[in-house]
Amino acid sequence: MSMMRTRLLRAALPAVLAGTFWLPPAYADLYTWVDASGRVNISNLSPPEGVRITSVIPASPPKATTRDDAREAVRDAELQALTKRVRQLEDQVGSQGSGSNYRYYCRDTAGYYPDVQTCPSEWLQVVPNQTADSTPGAGQ
């Protein structure tokens, strides 16, 4: 491409983008009238005095803030997803009962809480098995 064409495109591109994305479109009423010589005219300007107006098409008002509608739709979708997740978590907590899903085992005393109230070393968190198994780590 020539240097002149490149400069022209660089100058015109911002103007085209501004006109396309940032400038609001114009709205105007459309008038149809018949003039004194019998010709039908159509214009967005008001017709002159003394002519017979055959129709007026009012301008459509722009839809109220499309961006706000899109943001609100996204917000509603996020709110629905969060509400669904909260219900899932509530159901999960409710199905686990009031207690924890873990048991605590002390190696020093070879016993589980609450049978053993204190552990000299550290408590081991174990997943309880459905069957009665007294070995530490049962169900893991």
User: How far is Cα 14 from Cα 17, in angstroms, rounded to an integer?
Assistant: 5
| Predicted local confidence at residue 139, as pLDDT | 45
Structure tokens at 31: 């008038």
Q: How many residues does the chain have?
A: 140
Chain CA centroid to CA 96, Å:
32
| Predicted local confidence at residue 62, as pLDDT | 60
Alpha-carbon separation of residue 51 from 26, 28, 42, 43, 44 (angstroms): 26, 20, 12, 13, 15
Residues 40-75: pLDDT tens digits?
Answer: 888 888 888 888 888 888 877 666 667 778 888 899
| Alpha helices, H only, the chain | 3-17, 66-95
First to last CA, the chain: 70
| Predicted local confidence at residue 63, as pLDDT | 62
The average pLDDT across 97-107 equals 73
| Predicted local confidence at residue 8, as pLDDT | 80
Domain ranges of the chain: 25-66, 100-140
| Predicted local confidence at residue 64, as pLDDT | 61
The average pLDDT across 6-17 equals 80
| Predicted local confidence at residue 78, as pLDDT | 93
Alpha-carbon separation of residue 136 from 34, 52, 83, 88, 132 (angstroms): 98, 98, 38, 31, 12
Q: Return the higher-pLDDT residue of 23 and 33.
A: 33
